[in-house]
Structure 1
Amino acid sequence: MSARLPRSYLFVPGNRPERFEKAHAAGADAVILDLEDAVQPDEKPAARAAVQAAVSGGAAGGASNGASGSAWVRVNGSDTSWFNDDIAALVEHRGVAGIVLPKAETRGQIEGILAHAHPRLSVLPIVETARGFANLAELCAAPRVERIAFGTLDFQIDLGIDGDREELDLFRSQIVLSSRLAGIGAPVDGVSTTLTDMEQIEADARRGRRFGFGGKLCIHPKQIEAVHRAYAWSDAEQAWAIRVLAVVETSNGAAVAVDGKMVDMPVILKARRILAGA
């Protein structure tokens, strides 16, 4: 698993190749060339060809897991007529850092993607159905899965849920728990639908972070900065961590307190995590 996984994944329509480089320049940690929701059915073959040309020629942009010049691709679902062609066209290209699998539900779907893939290809399964959620442990343990994404919008539709906050608390917590038990990275939270309310986007991202998520899907470049702010440790948090570790270093094993609160091992570990992430 990579030491630092992306905080932000920016979707760009696969049928808009003129936007690929712009998406990369927008500052997202990873770019996802989208063949699924962003592309109308009659444009699917042309979009696939555009994405294939981009990843073959190194023009896809994006960065993932330190691989500059590569991009992720969200293919069409395995239950669609486009899925097999998407996989055949893309998984052998090293310009594809990973496949984003919508409506992921089984380990077999992931193994099918990897059957003819280049050896460094990763898979990012999106859990957005009841069956996918029921098979979380299976998905988290599948080969070359570094983390799970939560497709909150489709998940709400599949389960008849109306709301993205406390209505999904149980499911968010379980995705984080299953990821931790499998030893994979912190999961990726779903999109915020607003494109103009930066405070709301940041609040959404911070809420996901409090649940234990490690990143967020983005549908517009304007969302990236707010997401990155949410997943950055503040100056105050870093200053607190420095104080904690400084006190511990000079304590000679004695019990100590910072800001009136006892410093025990969980506090020390949190302080180390803050400074490592900063």
Structure 2
Amino acid sequence: MSPRTISPQIARSWLLVPASHPELFAIAQESEADAIIIDMEDAVAANDKKQARKDTVEWLTTGHRAWVRINDASSEFWSEDCAALKQCEGLEGVMLAKSESSSHLDDTADRLVDGTRILALVETARGMQNVAHIAAAPSTFRIAFGTGDFKRDTAAGEDPIALVYARSQLVIASRAARLPAPIDGPTLNITHLPSGTAHAKEMGMSGKLCLTHEHAAIINAGLSPSEKDIAWAHGFIAAFEASGGKITDGSDLPRLARAQKIVHQAEDFGIEVAPAEVSHSGY
């Protein structure tokens, strides 16, 4: 398990583990990933769904905790997934595949224990078109982007610019609904992972899916405030307080809010950096 318990509201790395390979559950739990998702959907063949569900339930009822990606609401497996997970005390929440309407979230919530957190995985054009309603659904905890299926559904290319509009829609809908920032899809090639993570952060996303535990540390580093930012934030707050909270121009309060957010993130992620010596008007 990650050395530090990170709230799912701010979790950076979300590791998907095939439910058909229960031997990987323990490895995932010991990894640096902020959150573990046992995947009973795309990672499992139809003929293996029943056994994968059984192995997942056994893991979650024997002292372990994890999120679970369940099959989409239109599939033949969805109802059984919900029924099997309803009594799992180790269930952190579910990720609902192919979320395309608020009713998909509401219907799933009705079949689970009250208050179960649901990650809405948006991965189709229809889901993207309805993302504002999905974000506003009472049962939605956070939104994730299924980039692979979305590209297949829309014929979008591999260039990051092809998904800029889609990522922006997720960020805007999440913010408007007062949800945590959304979770980006995986970057499969570890060589491109640092740039993919940086792009997600630049777009306003604060989490990222991954398919192997080796990617978790890179994602965590990329989605955490940098040492430079943390040092600046501490220095700016110290300078602002030393001035008696004097406002010198219209940028002071926005910069103060940014500095406070960075400091809080650093505390949440257990990052310690010596403060930089900056003036009130610095950075």
Q: Calculate the TM-score normalised by the size of structure 1.
A: 0.88
Deviation for aligned residue 1:253: 4.7
Does residue 241 (structure 1) correspond to residue 242 (structure 2)? The answer is no
Equivalent position SS for 1:204? helix
Does the 8 A contact of 2:16 with 2:210 survive in 1?
yes
For residues 228 and 145 of structure 1, the distance between their equivalents in structure 2, rounded to whole angstroms, comes to 24
CA displacement 1:81-132 (0-9 Å, x = unmatched):
2111111111332211111111101111112111132234111011111110
For residue 27 of structure 1, the aligned residue among 13, 29, 32 is 32
The residue number in structure 2 matching 1:267 is: 255
Does residue 47 (structure 1) correspond to residue 52 (structure 2)? The answer is yes
Equivalent position SS for 1:57? coil
CA displacement 1:49-71 (0-9 Å, x = unmatched):
1111111222xxxxxxxxxx421
Give the aligned length. 260
Deviation for aligned residue 1:144: 2.9
Does the 8 A contact of 1:91 with 1:121 survive in 2?
no
**AA in 2 matched with 1:193:** L
The residue number in structure 1 matching 2:19 is: 14
For residues 253 and 34 of structure 1, the distance between their equivalents in structure 2, rounded to whole angstroms, comes to 50
For residue 166 of structure 1, the aligned residue among 161, 173, 193 is 161
Equivalent position SS for 1:146? strand
Equivalent position SS for 1:131? helix
Does the 8 A contact of 1:91 with 1:113 survive in 2?
no
Equivalent position SS for 1:147? strand
Q: Once superposed, which parts of structure 1, at least 4 consecutive aligned residues long, lie more than 6 Å away? A: none
- Report 1:32-181 matches (<5 A): 32-58=37-63, 69-181=64-176
Does the 8 A contact of 1:94 with 1:118 survive in 2?
no
For residue 232 of structure 1, the aligned residue among 209, 218, 224 is 224
For residues 211 and 11 of structure 1, the distance between their equivalents in structure 2, rounded to whole angstroms, comes to 22
Q: Calculate the TM-score normalised by the size of structure 2.
A: 0.87
**AA in 1 matched with 2:137:** A
CA RMSD of aligned residues (A): 1.7
Gap runs ≥5 in structure 1: 59-68
Equivalent position SS for 1:267? helix
**AA in 2 matched with 1:15:** S
Does the 8 A contact of 1:127 with 1:149 survive in 2?
yes
For residues 245 and 116 of structure 2, the distance between their equivalents in structure 1, rounded to whole angstroms, comes to 46
